[in-house]
């Protein structure tokens, strides 16, 4: 019997669940974070506030620039190794932290299909619209797939995802872990470790140390998208905290700090100015040329990956790298598990 279109879409919707893990507003911590960051020297802002609707769109556009090799290199590598990963882990569930549009996940789902390892997909993100959209696309593409989506902040709400007997593969892709300082990365990994069972596995994407010119270009694209992405955080503050930033009076600057092995992204004040922030009942003074750190993006070596994982309670089981060694995918297991 032929099913009508509405029966079809209902059947698809029934394969999707969406659970709100936190009741806290993702922007709830913005005021405190901005107050703290702007009182620090150098002034700084946390990178997680880049990603409002405009910022998420700008990031997607950055990924398409010729200079920003990260996304396409990781995507190609994942396509290459997905079968090996699924064969090694044979997961019942695939949990993806910061899943966004879930575009790269398709490689793993196809590998699952090929190997008759029909895992449930658990995308985890702050944006429920993005999750709903991605889930609908995926159940549409994969007739066998069930999606259990989680809305929350993976830095705070990890403890609330259940941990059953089934094997879970946890994904953290895109080298997002590079945004965390050493101690933050260790704390995040330990928190993740604590919700994982001994048989669970962790697949982590990491950008590698490479020629400084290649790194520099990736964060200073010719089209100016990274500059717009950087300044977008000022628009977010203006909107959410009744701020008076004039984004055009700040210059985008991204440099590779070789001794720290990280990109540092700044907004430099082009002139001396006082910026009112209504919701904080304050004015923030900037000297001419004063830098404000908006993001670090760490670059890794096999040795720094090992030591970071070790501090977080993991050991690398398999290390996959692209032929140009621009990017790594590391399959890790809890250190104290068999
Ligand atoms: C999404 C955090 C991996 O650090 O490369 C892109 C964000 N910043 N261009 C990165 C970003 C500037 C990106 N991550």
- CB 122 within 8 Å of CB 16: no
Distance 100 CA to ligand 1 centre (A): 13
Residue nearest to atom 14 of ligand 1 (CA): 176
| Atom of ligand 1 minimally distant from the CA of 175 | 3
Q: What is the pTM of this model?
A: 0.94
Q: At what angle do helices 53-63 and 69-89 cross, to 10 degrees?
A: 90
The CA distance from 264 to 291, in Å, is 11
Tell me the per-residue pLDDT of 133-172, one tens digit each, with 9 for 90 and over.
999 999 999 999 999 999 988 888 888 887 878 999 999 9
Rounded CA-CA distance 78/105 in Å is 9
Whether residue 174 has its Cβ less than 6 Å from ligand 1? yes
Q: Which atom of ligand 1 lies nearest, measured to the CA of 179?
A: 2
Does ligand 1 come within 6 angstroms of the Cβ of 328?
no
Ligand 1 centroid–CA 176 distance in Å is 7
Alpha-carbon 228 to chain mean position? 19
The confidence band for 251, taking pLDDT boundaries of 50, 70 and 90, is very high
The finding on whether 226 has its CB within 6 A of some atom of ligand 1 is yes
The most distant pair of C-alpha atoms in the chain lies apart, rounded to whole Å, by 73
Task: Render pLDDT for 44-60 as a digit per residue (tens, 0 to 9).
Answer: 999 999 999 999 999 99
Asked if residue 56 has its Cβ within 6 Å of ligand 1, the reply is: no
């Amino acid at each position: 019997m032929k099913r009508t279109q509405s029966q079809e879409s209902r059947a698809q919707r029934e394969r999707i669940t969406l659970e709100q893990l936190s009741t806290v507003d993702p922007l709830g911590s913005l005021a405190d974070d901005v107050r703290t960051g702007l009182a620090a020297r150098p002034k700084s802002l946390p990178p997680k506030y880049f990603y409002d609707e405009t910022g998420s769109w700008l990031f997607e556009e950055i990924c398409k620039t010729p200079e920003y090799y990260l996304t396409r290199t990781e995507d190609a590598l994942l396509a290459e190794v997905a079968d090996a990963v699924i064969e090694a882990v044979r997961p019942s569930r695939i949990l993806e932290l910061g899943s966004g549009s879930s575009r790269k996940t398709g490689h793993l789902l196809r590998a699952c299909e090929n190997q008759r390892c029909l895992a449930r997909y658990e995308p985890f993100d702050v944006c429920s619209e993005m999750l709903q959209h991605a889930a609908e696309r995926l159940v549409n593409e994969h007739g066998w797939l069930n999606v259990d989506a989680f809305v929350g902040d993976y830095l705070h709400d990890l403890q609330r995802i259940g941990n059953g007997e089934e094997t879970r593969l946890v994904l953290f892709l895109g080298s997002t872990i590079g945004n965390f300082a050493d101690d933050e990365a260790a704390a995040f990994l330990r928190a993740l470790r604590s919700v994982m069972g001994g048989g669970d596995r962790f697949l982590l994407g990491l950008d590698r140390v490479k020629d400084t010119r290649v790194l520099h270009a990736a964060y200073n694209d010719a089209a100016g998208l990274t500059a717009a992405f950087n300044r977008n955080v000022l628009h977010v503050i203006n909107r959410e905290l009744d701020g008076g930033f004039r984004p055009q009076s700040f210059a985008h600057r991204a440099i590779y700090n070789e001794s720290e092995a990280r990109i540092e992204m700044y907004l430099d004040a082009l002139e001396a100015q006082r910026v009112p922030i209504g919701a904080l009942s304050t004015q923030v003074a900037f000297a001419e040329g004063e830098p404000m750190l908006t993001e670090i993006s760490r670059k890794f070596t096999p040795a720094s990956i090992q030591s970071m994982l070790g501090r977080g309670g993991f050991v690398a089981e398999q290390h996959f790298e692209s032929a140009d060694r621009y990017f790594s995918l590391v399959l890790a297991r809890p250190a104290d598990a068999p």
